[in-house]
Amino acid sequence: MSKASHVYVTYIRATPEKVWSAITDPDLSGRYWGHRNVSEWTVGASWEHRRLDAGKIDLVGTVLESQPPRRLVVSWAFPGDVDKPAKVSRVAFDIDVHKDDMVRLTVSHTDLESGGEMERGITQGWPFVLSSLKSFLETGKGLL
């Protein structure tokens, strides 16, 4: 099975701590992502991506690395696929200070089933989510 990966780089006028919180705080992620990201964010803990309305869980995974506020790596799957290793992908968030008040956020989504539903979804999804995150941190208002 061939695997695909996609990398997205965004520069945001914010501190690494603000970017980390926006990704890991369920109330904040709800405001620009429309989903609460819920976890203890310690290595080995599970995480869930829950819709705001009825709380339906759209994605689940495990925290693989957690170095606040610089690097977070999680596994990433649809809830029904969590026991199928071929369908579990991996997302790394790298938050690097570029200069003064600006960070470079790199999202690397790897181990994707090539041409599968998850790959199709995330190539639509990440550009919007990262744009909305940047707007939220720079203007106080996401794009939802």
Partner 1 sequence: MNPHQNRLDPSSFKPKSVYRTYIAATPDEVWQALIDPAFTKQYFFGLASEVEPRAGGRFRLLWPDGREHITGQVVEWSPPRRLCVSWDIQNMPPFSELPSCLVTWDVEADGAATRLTMTESHNWEIPREIMLGGEEGWPKIISGLKSLLETGKPLAFDMSAGPPPEFVAAVEKAAKEKPWMRK
* Tokens linked to 67: 């170095």
Q: How far is the CB of 71 from partner 1 (least distance, A)?
A: 19
Contact residue for partner 1 among 13, 48, 71, 119 (CB under 8 A)? 13
- Torsion over CA of 78, 103, 64 and 25, rounded to 10 degrees? -60
In terms of CB distance, is 28 or 107 closer to partner 1? 107
Instruction: Read off the amino acid at residue 46.
Output: S
Cα gap 6→91, rounded to integer Å: 10
Q: Which of 11, 43, 58, 114 binds partner 1 (CB under 8 A)?
A: 11
Task: Closer to partner 1 by CB, 120 or 141: give it.
Answer: 141
Choose which of 1, 9, 107, 112 interacts with partner 1 (CB under 8 A): 9
Q: Does 98 bind partner 1 (CB under 8 A)?
A: yes
Residue 120 binds partner 1, judged by CB under 8 A: no
Q: CA 5 to CA 103: how far, in whole Å?
A: 22
In 1-144, at which residue ranges do the beta strands (DSSP E only) sit?
3-13, 35-39, 46-51, 57-67, 71-76, 89-99, 102-113
The yes or no reply on residue 143 touching partner 1 (CB under 8 A) is yes
**3, 51, 56, 141: residue in contact with partner 1 (rule CB under 8 A):** 141
